[in-house]
Amino acid sequence: MLILLAFIFGAVYGAVLHFTMRGRASRGVAVAPALGALVAGAVYSVLTWAGLADTPWIWLGALAVPVVVVPLVLGVLATRRTAHDARERTRLRLT
């Protein structure tokens, strides 16, 4: 049941990043919270399976990895979407 705390942290952190990072208009409102929850839950699960369930490393990993990974992925998504939209505008001769 403690994995729920990791999911909640990841989702809340993702939601905060959605509203604070650039490119908000180019992605869905659920992308960042879902990504944060997925990453935090996956790290928690992997560290549990690795036998680190009774150590602080599981929480350090479940909290630190989403803090690093989610902003990077959101930045890449925003950049790629902006470039794709520009190519589509050019292809459709809208600009």
pLDDT (tens, 9 = 90+) of the chain, 95 residues, equals: 899 999 999 999 999 999 999 989 888 999 999 999 999 999 999 999 999 988 999 999 999 999 999 999 999 999 999 999 999 999 999 97
Q: How many domains does the chain have?
A: 1
| CA dihedral sign, ordered 17, 37, 70, 73 | negative
CA proximity to 68, closest of 2, 24, 10 = 10
Q: What is the separation of C-alpha 39 from the centre of its chain, rounded to a whole number of angstroms?
A: 7
Domain that holds residue 85: 3-91
Backbone angles phi, psi at 54, to 5 degrees: -100, 20
Which residue, chain included where needed, has tokens 């942290």?
A: 9
Cβ pair 37, 10 in contact under 8 A: yes
pLDDT at 63: 96
How many of the other CB atoms lie within 10 Å of CB of 37?
22
pLDDT at 95: 74
